[in-house]
Amino acid sequence: MCVCLLILQYVVFELSFDKFHVNRDHIYRITHERYQEGQLVEKLATTFPAMGRTMKREFPEVQKETSFLPMECIFSAADPQSNQVTYRESRVFIVDDSFLEIFSFKLKEGTPSVMSEPNSMVMTESSAKKYFGSASPMGKTFRLRNHNQGLDIIATVRGVCKDIPPNSHIKFDFLVSKKRGPGSWSYPDDYTYLQLAPGTDPKAVEAKMADVLEKHTDKTKTSASKIVLSLQPLKDIHLYSDFTGETEGGNGKLVWFLVLIAVLILFIAYVNYINLSTVKAIERAKEVGLRKVFGTLRKNLLQQFFFESLLLNIIAVIIAIGMALLAHNLFNQLTGVNVPYTFWTSPLFWTVLVICVGLSAFISGFYPASFLSGYKPVEVLTGKLPISSKGIGIRKGLVIFQFTVSIILMIVTFTIYRQVNYMRNTDLGMNMSQTVIVAAPDPALETQGDETAFYQKLQTFQTELVANTGITSVTSSSSIPGQEIDWTRPYRNRVEDLGKQGNLYSTFSIGPEFIKQFNIKVVAGEAFALNRSMNTDSAKPTPYIPIMVNEAAVKSLGFPDNKSAVGQIIVDKNGSGRLFEHKITGVLQNFHQKSLKEAFTPIIFRLEDGSAIEYFSVKLNSNNISRVINTIEGKYKALFPASPYEYFFLDEFFNQQYKQDLQFNKIFGLFAGFAIFVGCLGLLGLSLFTSMQKIREIGIRKVLGASSVSILVMILKDFIRLIIISGLVAWPISWLAMHLWLQNYVFRINITPWLFLLPILLVLIVAIVTVSAQAWKACVVNPVKSIRHE
């Protein structure tokens, strides 16, 4: 019961996401899919910034629309003591004036209309406390900067929002209003949501979206490239969405797997309880016989057994609730989700609980009572126990069911564990061990208009770090492994039609040391030279921009092989239509930029010139890591005093991508193990019943000279047969379930025979130990005592 309550509260919480929004049933997100020659090449949670406002203008079904752009910014503000404080904030949303009108985030101060003024800010209570303590933030100003996005504004706090509920797929710390414009049709950068009029058919709106797209852009006019926009209901986003760029993600499969496990645990537990109750009730046969002799009616016996069972169930529920409350925080740590206590105040919960307890008490009390009360008192009092073979087939069927479930759960658990372990330990095509990532300083804070001096400081920072004996090398880059590369360009092969729209390729700006430091193999051509200077104005030796590509990009660009790609020219256009030509100087072996759930990302590598540095990657070779990190911090603060210092370990950051899979593995494994344990109790109940049923047969066999071991083997054969049948039923079901689940991973394990054989072996061991313990007790009983009533 305790386990089921914990699972139930988690499931209810996961299903409650975004239900606090008043108009939740009418809110939809626009999703963006692009197909190249029939193949899906982009699956985005974002779309063109102009799409939403165009639909609001042209579609009467669209009541409201909003779009927002998440952004990491450096915040500067004066604290209550007038000291300048600076933080790097990652949960900043650049929003429009209708964001707070569509979404029902509660404001503690201010009104939704404050976002109608450009550069207005709404911050959460926790963020306000972080910067201003107990003082009111209203009217205070922040300076926000993001160098690569070209953002540098002064924003005024005009509202304070209550902290975002944990069951919201949209999570922010700051909202900053932007000036409304016509929007762009160039790049799908914005998250866009629509509020449709009640009664509107979203499919009908979807059908008209293609016409709007074709009217405003030429991206749907070629047969080679096609964009498909869809409307995704708000209620489906958390659990059932796997688009690139998700702001928040749950696991619908895990939720319903846990529901299934909870139902199985409860069902198996009550079946076992009935079996054990029946066995224990047999021990009360003489009591029942005496009661019947003294005139107790059958209905009175039924009432007695029912109320005993009801009392036992009520006590169990009280203990289960107490255990669930005590285990609440531990369960939250296990799931990684902060499930609130509000679940226990739900009237629906208590109604269902009362019904379940009453029903289970009736079933578990009625069967043993009717079983015993139907026997004649004379037979019971003369020593004949009320045991027959009646119902043994049902019991064996239930044991087969229980062990089929147990074997399936074991196979699933082993497969999940192997897949997660495979993803975490597979060679990624690069070496990121002992790598510390340091966020780059902000040029606007550090330059004071002197960019050359800033670039010199960047070089000085790298040079001084490399001089440290605890550091092997340092490189810079615009992104890091494990991160979605948000810089994309529409590259295409120069020999292709100039009018053809190129695919959007991830563009990765790297320092020349990057390839060697991460031990990425060059499979064709040459790596970038190590002797370049970090200077945006440096003269280029050729009219072409030197680039490198990975093997996935070679294939996507249409080159026959890696060697033939070297020396080729690819082109792209910026938003103004200016053409840029790039020469491929080398090809890198594919490495996993993202998790093994995804295919290799086609990447274009450009040489970092200092203008787009987001991160420094520092390779350590010291056992005294804390001392080296303190050295890095000291150098950073000395050279870049105005910028906030932040660092993290790359392997930990990369493995965050597997957080959901690890949670799935832990949660499923724990509760599957518990279901298996409860299933073993069923075996205990059946073995008790079998031992009592065969006690006279065992006595007679012993009198005729049979050994205890031979009798034990006789009893075990029946149970082993049941387990083998269970395995034969479980194998095809497990194979199908695991085959379908593994399709979610591009890189996955093979389903091997031992995954099916090991669970059978474990179940056999458990069965032999459990049954042997009960059967041995029957075997060592004095045979005269077992058969004397005959």
Mean pLDDT lowest among 275-279, 427-431, 464-468, 489-493:
275-279
Q: Which pLDDT value is given to residue 338?
A: 78
Angstrom distance (rounded) from CA 323 to CA 566: 65
Mean pLDDT lowest among 21-30, 484-493, 558-567, 721-730:
484-493
SS3 364: helix
Full domain range(s) for residue 583: 442-642
Instruction: Tell me the CA distances in angstroms from 687 to 270, 367, 693, 706, 771, one per residue in order.
Output: 17, 19, 10, 20, 6
Overall average pLDDT of the 124-147 stretch? 89
Indicate the residue among 578, 613, 642 that finishes a domain.
642
Q: Which pLDDT value is given to residue 495?
A: 65
Q: Please, which residues have CB within 8 angstroms of residue 762's CB and are 6 or more apart in sequence? A: 410
Query: Would you say 44 and 244 are in contact if contact means Cβ atoms under 8 Å apart?
Result: yes
**Phi, psi (deg, nearest 5) at residue 492:** -155, 160
Q: For the chain, what is the mean pLDDT?
A: 82
* pLDDT surpasses 70 at 381: no
Overall average pLDDT of the 359-384 stretch? 65
Query: Would you say 695 and 778 are in contact if contact means Cβ atoms under 8 Å apart?
Result: yes
Q: Which run of H or E residues covers position 672?
A: helix 659-693
Q: Which pLDDT value is given to residue 189?
A: 85
Q: Which pLDDT value is given to residue 632?
A: 94
Q: Please, which residues have CB within 8 angstroms of residue 545's CB and are 6 or more apart in sequence? A: 580, 581, 582, 583, 606
Q: Which pLDDT value is given to residue 765?
A: 84
Q: 503-520, pLDDT tens digit by residue?
A: 778 899 999 999 999 999
Work out how many domains the chain is built from and give that number: 2
Angstrom distance (rounded) from CA 763 to CA 766: 5
Residue 651 resides in a domain: no
SS3 603: strand
* pLDDT surpasses 80 at 364: no
Instruction: Tell me the CA distances in angstroms from 254 to 18, 318, 381, one per residue in order.
Output: 19, 28, 54
Angstrom distance (rounded) from CA 714 to CA 168: 59
Residue 420 resides in a domain: no
| Residues paired with 144 in a beta bridge | 75, 153
Q: 590-636, pLDDT tens digit by residue?
A: 999 988 888 888 999 999 877 778 899 999 987 788 899 999 999 99
Residue 572 C-beta-side C-alpha neighbours within 13 Å: 18
Q: 175-226, pLDDT tens digit by residue?
A: 999 877 777 887 788 999 999 999 999 999 998 898 888 887 754 444 456 8
Overall average pLDDT of the 556-582 stretch? 84
Of the two residues 688 and 549, the one the predictor is more confident about is 549
Angstrom distance (rounded) from CA 465 to CA 475: 10
Q: Which pLDDT value is given to residue 152?
A: 85
Residue 663 resides in a domain: no
Angstrom distance (rounded) from CA 715 to CA 694: 9
Direct distance between the N- and C-terminal alpha carbons of the chain, in angstroms, rounded to an integer: 44
Residue 534 resides in a domain: yes
Read off the amino acid at residue 231: L
Angstrom distance (rounded) from CA 327 to CA 340: 13
Question: With pLDDT > 90 as the criterion, what percentage of the chain qualifies?
Answer: 31
Residue 649 resides in a domain: no
Token reading at 337: 């989700």
Closest to 302 measured CA to CA, from 374, 254, 206: 374
Query: Would you say 413 and 735 are in contact if contact means Cβ atoms under 8 Å apart?
Result: no
Instruction: Look at the block and give the residue holding tokens 């990369």.
Output: 654
Token reading at 503: 């695919």
Overall average pLDDT of the 283-292 stretch? 70
Question: With pLDDT > 70 as the criterion, what percentage of the chain qualifies?
Answer: 84
Angstrom distance (rounded) from CA 15 to CA 521: 46
Residue 620 resides in a domain: yes
Spell out the long-range contacts of 389-398 with Cβ–Cβ below 8 A and sequence spacing 24 or more. Answer: 389/693, 392/689, 392/693, 395/275, 395/686, 395/689, 396/686, 396/722, 398/271, 398/275, 398/682
Indicate the residue among 212, 240, 268 that finishes a domain.
240
Q: Which pLDDT value is given to residue 654?
A: 92
Q: Which pLDDT value is given to residue 537?
A: 43
SS3 743: coil
Confidence band, pLDDT 50/70/90 cuts, at residue 279: low
In this prediction the pTM is 0.79
Residue 121 resides in a domain: yes
* pLDDT surpasses 70 at 533: no
Residue 727 resides in a domain: no
Indicate the residue among 586, 618, 642 that finishes a domain.
642
Token reading at 40: 């899906």
Burial of 493 (0-12, 13-18, 19+ CB in 10 A): middle
Confidence band, pLDDT 50/70/90 cuts, at residue 487: confident
